Copies of this chain bind each other. A is one copy, B any other.
Amino acid sequence: MFVQRTMRQAIKAHNAFASSSYSPKVLSTSFSRFYSSQLAPLDASKLEVEKSSKQKKLQANSELVFGKTFTDHMLTVEWEAGKGWGTPQIKEYGKLQLDPSAVVFHYAFECFEGMKAYKDKDGKTRLFRPDMNMKRFNRSAGRIALPSFEGEELTKLIGEFLKVDDRWIPKGRGYSLYLRPTMIGTQESLGVGASNKAMIFVIASPVGPYFPSGFAAVNLLATTEKVRAWPGGTGDSKVGGNYAPCIKPQLDANKEGFQQNLWLFGEDHQVTEVGTMNCFVYWKNEQGETELVTPALDGQILPGVTRDSILSLARQWGEFKVSERKFTMKDLVKADKEGRIIEMFGAGTACIVCPIKRIHYDGHDIHVPLDPSDKTSQAGKLTKRINDSIMDIQYGDVQGPAGWSVVV
């Protein structure tokens, strides 16, 4: 009796703080309810569109800045525990109105995706491997106890959004409409538990080429004092909490003249990521093989869509060894001394590939070769070939693997 009574007290007391009125039993029920198939699924056929009466002025292609100007509309859909997904809406782009107690402001219940919509030569709108983004978006949401959703439905909704804001998709190779699907927890209560409300919103920003006049390679500061991700953490999820802690080290690197951090991990200084990009090295390895290598998806590395696409293409080419495995700064330093590094680049949706020319590590510089025959652009030959090959598929000029370039 005593134990039972105090157990109830414990539950009551803890849940008052930990998760409003959930007891472990109720929690377990709620948990299954959150993910139950009886809840309303995300359903694109329920879409409501209310077009904006105003049309903002389009910017000239030359004036586009990443993520600063947004289109006339946005896509939103809300979720509630015990009910599921509500009515998707496309409406005028505008402020979100959220209670100051909304858990997104306090406990970082937030995850996102980065994707782009491209205009092909026939004027059709294309997405690049949206299924990969939807899969990762769902996995990120699950990692922070936000609800799952039907990925194909969200892709359909994004397709509708792109029709409504079609005039905002810039034309021309290198130009695209950057899409930012975001999920936030909107529970209006400070209890530290699963959010009982959530929202997906998608906003869109026209962007120009990452390198407007030829590749420009970057200098990296190999960063040991701060760590981006760790085993049992969230490095493989695109959650908000991965980003803010990297800004201070980024500013510190900028102050010393480096554009990005090279994130390392562990006592052996394993190479993990570059700024917000995956990291690739093209070299002669210690066995004398020509190899393209990137860190394996060990739980700490973001499973980049561009990363996966590069690996697929390179394997398809079959011209050199392609590896996903651990490598360390010691390996890089040795390869540099022995003149075995051929190229290095970061990879991500924003740039596709971003050539690296120098890494400052432990008081020394590693110099990465570029293509000396190219007088207009700082990038190695493989880097450029990868960039062109992916862009060809993104803009529909070349037929890529099935499902890579999707007309919406």
Contacts and interface: CB of A to CB of B under 8 A. Distances in A.
B191 A68 contact: yes
A117 interface: no
A41 interface: no
A214 B233 CA distance: 36
Contacts of A24: 254-255, 257-259
Contacts of A254: 22, 24, 27-28, 31
A322 interface: no
A194 interface: yes
Count copies of this chain in the complex.
Answer: 2
Contacts of A192: 243, 246-247, 250, 275-276
Query: Of residues A13, A18, A182, A214, which shows the largest number of chain B Cβ atoms within 10 Å of its Cβ?
Result: A13
Given A7-B216, A9-B212, A250-B193, A21 B101 contact: no
A95 B93 contact: no
B100 A74 contact: yes
A316 to B, nearest CB: 28
Interface stretch (A45-53, A103-111, A155-163, A382-390): A103-111
Name, among A21, A67, A227, the residue most crowded by chain B CB atoms within 10 Å (CB to CB): A67
Given A192-B243, A243-B192, A247-B194, A108 B110 contact: yes
Contacts of A145: 244, 247-248, 251
Interface in A188-219: 189-194, 201, 203, 205, 208, 210-214, 216-218
A22 B67 CA distance: 14
A270 interface: no
B18 A259 contact: yes
Contacts of A224: 232
A203 B100 contact: yes
Interface in A23-56: 24, 27-28, 31
Given A27-B255, A178-B190, 12 more contacts: A11-B259, A13-B211, A13-B351, A18-B259, A68-B189, A96-B97, A97-B97, A108-B244, A190-B205, A227-B230, A241-B241, A241-B244
Interface of A: 2, 6-14, 16-18, 20-22, 24, 27-28, 31, 65-68, 70, 74, 93, 95-101, 104-110, 112, 142-145, 178, 180, 182, 184-185, 189-194, 201, 203, 205, 208, 210-214, 216-218, 224-227, 230-234, 239-248, 250-251, 254-255, 257-260, 275-276, 350-351, 354, 375, 378
10 contacts: A65-B189, A70-B100, A100-B203, A101-B180, A108-B244, A110-B244, A144-B245, A178-B190, A227-B231, A230-B233
